[in-house]
Amino acid sequence: MKKKETKPGKSFLKMSGVLLLASSLLLSACGSRDGSAPSDNGSGTDNSEPTSITIQTLNYATEFIDNTNVLWKELEKRTNTKLNITWLSPSTAEEKINVMLASGDLPEVTFVETMQNPQLQKMLKQGVFWDLTPFLKDYPSLNREELKEMWEITKVDGKNIVIPRYYPSYGGGVFPMIRKDWLDALKLETPKTLDEFHNVLKAFKEQDPNGNGQADEIPYAANPGALAYIYNIFNETQGSWKLQPDNTLTPIMTSDESREAMLWIKQAYDEGLFPKDFAIMKFSQVMDTMRSAKAGVGGMSMNHAWVTGEAVKGVDPKADLMPLAYLENANGVKYTPSGSPYYGVYLIPKKVPEAKVKKILEFFDYGYSQEGNEMLTYGIEGVHYNVENGKKVATPQAAVDKTGDGNLNNMIHLVSDDMAISAVGMPDEVYERNVEIVTERKTVKVPNPSGELYSEAYNKYYPEISKKVEDMRVMVITGKEPVESYDKLIETIKSDPKMKEITDEMSKAYQEKYVK
């Protein structure tokens, strides 16, 4: 269930100090070094009346722009549209999307974060939205090579009902970021296996990598949720399900490998490799621990490693937080996080006339063209940035007009790995290292058989079952329950009719979608 080859070019958005601070904290919403695309629609000349389009979408900015914004006006001008955009804050988006779907009062361009939304699934079966398949061939930028995978995996019964919102497959996800300066201080190599990783954590605890003569280092700033990838390493799969040779899926929560993963974490806990409050720490507290410069490892996406690393440098100027490329299990199988090449989808209700559907697709085609993609991310050349020595250098006006801060650039993402591996103000050497790491990550292919599947039983029963397992794991890890209590719970779940119903539905969904 679901909640990237050649190196990118080095063209790089250098921002002023104020914009650097404000923009770097965003979820990879800005700051690409390559905005290139294979096609360029250009805006052309259109003397017809502007097409009015109502859109609802996410916005990660601290201050939402409106139709008085220069970029908003420029986008309308280039696409000959009149945009009525309703911004959704990430903190309340899911609730508002659910209310909107339930009401049936849908904007002409409707955004939904996940295709696994139960209400959306019902509406898809009811045929509420346009089938865009017959139209897509007429829009060259929507047919870019980089976008083909996202169009393919989001098909509904073989049809393109949704317009996926691009996001890179590699570079995101919670995975270890390690203090390279601590490795260097102890003359340790970058860990590549789980055993090596464990030994590095022990060395961080015992060998005073910060050199202050005190045993004050916290090897790994983590809470239980930050260690979910450990279970994936042991099970050799992404997500919560594993594909079996007979094309059925089994939940990894009940596997022997997950038991081994839990005991690996328990050993690390018993050795004092996590914070004392590991079991009850919130994500914000984990990040505070990382920013204190006392922790050797944290878990975050690649671009956030640098953003967080800058905060760590404020305490320890020598700090260098480096993403790991992968970790290998005892079977020699490598794991690195990867996801679907999109995040969120747009849909067009059938109440929208066909002529306007084509205008909406024309709007998105411009957004995914080279000109449109770069304008949405960087702004207008000569106004918001200048090109100097092949690099995009922001002007003060970029901050004034909120360029690349999570507003328009979040409606249609930049088609580039930089979405996940770069951040505004990142030094060249850090960026180049990230390019090397993500290139290596792309060689690691870990299956994610359940990522695009939907099951009503899963939505109904799985969260409660999963919580029981997660709670028991924490109690075993922290010594409050013996491992036998965990074993008993797993046996109960294996014989639970609800779990069988979930598993049967998930297997059927996989076979219907992927087994030809």
pLDDT over 90 for what percent of the chain?
82
DSSP state of 495: T
Instruction: Measure the CA–CA gap between 207 and 339, rounded to whole angstroms.
Output: 36
Instruction: Give yes or no for residue 137 having a pLDDT over 60.
Output: yes
The answer to the question of residue 20 being in a domain is no
Model confidence over 300-321: pLDDT tens digits? 989 888 889 999 999 999 999 9
> 481 is written with which tokens?
């329950």
- The half-sphere exposure of 141 on its side-chain side, counting CA atoms within 13 A, is 24
Using alpha carbons, select from 343, 412, 340, 331 the residue that is nearest to residue 377: 412
Residue 453 contacts residue 153 (beta carbons within 8 Å): no
> CB 125: neighbour CB atoms within 10 A?
10
Q: Which residue has the tokens 């464990």?
A: 198
Residues, the chain? 516
Residue 361 contacts residue 132 (beta carbons within 8 Å): yes
Residues 6+ apart with CB under 8 A from 421: 168, 171, 302, 303, 431, 434, 435, 437, 438
Instruction: Give yes or no for residue 399 having a pLDDT over 70.
Output: yes
pTM: 0.85
Model confidence over 341-394: pLDDT tens digits? 999 999 999 999 999 999 999 999 999 999 999 999 999 999 999 998 887 888
Chain CA centroid to CA 301, Å: 8
What's the chain's average pLDDT?
Answer: 90
Instruction: Measure the CA–CA gap between 470 and 481, rounded to whole angstroms.
Output: 13
Instruction: Measure the CA–CA gap between 56 and 106, rounded to whole angstroms.
Output: 9
Last residue of a domain, one of 299, 318, 335: 335
The answer to the question of residue 390 being in a domain is no
The answer to the question of residue 433 being in a domain is no
The answer to the question of residue 208 being in a domain is yes
CATH code assigned at 243:
3.40.190.10
> Do 470 and 357 belong together in one domain?
no
> Do 255 and 285 belong together in one domain?
yes
> Do 46 and 110 belong together in one domain?
yes
pLDDT over 70 for what percent of the chain?
91
Instruction: Measure the CA–CA gap between 104 and 215, rounded to whole angstroms.
Output: 59
Instruction: Give yes or no for residue 6 having a pLDDT over 90.
Output: no
> Do 118 and 222 belong together in one domain?
no
The answer to the question of residue 428 being in a domain is no
> Do 147 and 248 belong together in one domain?
no
Residues 6+ apart with CB under 8 A from 139: 361, 362, 364, 365
Strand bridging mode 81-88 / 51-58: parallel
Residue 23 contacts residue 15 (beta carbons within 8 Å): yes
Apex 8 CA angle, 302 and 409, nearest 5: 70
Instruction: Measure the CA–CA gap between 249 and 286, rounded to whole angstroms.
Output: 33
Residues 6+ apart with CB under 8 A from 219: 201, 202, 204, 205, 272, 273, 274, 295, 296, 297
The answer to the question of residue 205 being in a domain is yes
> Do 192 and 68 belong together in one domain?
no
First to last CA, the chain: 21
Looking at residue 37, what is its pLDDT?
A: 40
392 forms beta bridges with: 387
The number of domains in the chain is 3
> Do 148 and 192 belong together in one domain?
no
Apex 402 CA angle, 398 and 27, nearest 5: 110
| Phi then psi dihedrals of residue 345, to 5 deg | -140, 155
* Per-residue confidence band for 289, with pLDDT thresholds at 50, 70 and 90: very high
Looking at residue 492, what is its pLDDT?
A: 99
The answer to the question of residue 27 being in a domain is no
Which residues constitute the domain of residue 208? 175-335
> Do 228 and 294 belong together in one domain?
yes
Looking at residue 381, what is its pLDDT?
A: 94
> 382 is written with which tokens?
């000569």
194-206 and 256-270 helices cross at what angle (nearest 10)?
A: 10
* Per-residue confidence band for 256, with pLDDT thresholds at 50, 70 and 90: very high
> Do 460 and 345 belong together in one domain?
no
Instruction: Measure the CA–CA gap between 394 and 387, rounded to whole angstroms.
Output: 9
Instruction: Give yes or no for residue 5 having a pLDDT over 70.
Output: no
> Do 58 and 127 belong together in one domain?
yes
> Do 152 and 208 belong together in one domain?
no
Task: Please compute the mean of the pLDDT values over residues 428-443 and round it to a whole number.
Answer: 96
> 107 is written with which tokens?
């904007």
Instruction: Give yes or no for residue 426 having a pLDDT over 80.
Output: yes
The answer to the question of residue 499 being in a domain is yes
Residue 23 belongs to what H/E stretch? helix 17-24
> Do 323 and 182 belong together in one domain?
yes
Instruction: Measure the CA–CA gap between 338 and 171, rounded to whole angstroms.
Output: 7
* Per-residue confidence band for 200, with pLDDT thresholds at 50, 70 and 90: very high
Instruction: Measure the CA–CA gap between 451 and 447, rounded to whole angstroms.
Output: 9
Instruction: Measure the CA–CA gap between 307 and 124, rounded to whole angstroms.
Output: 39
Instruction: Measure the CA–CA gap between 220 and 182, rounded to whole angstroms.
Output: 13
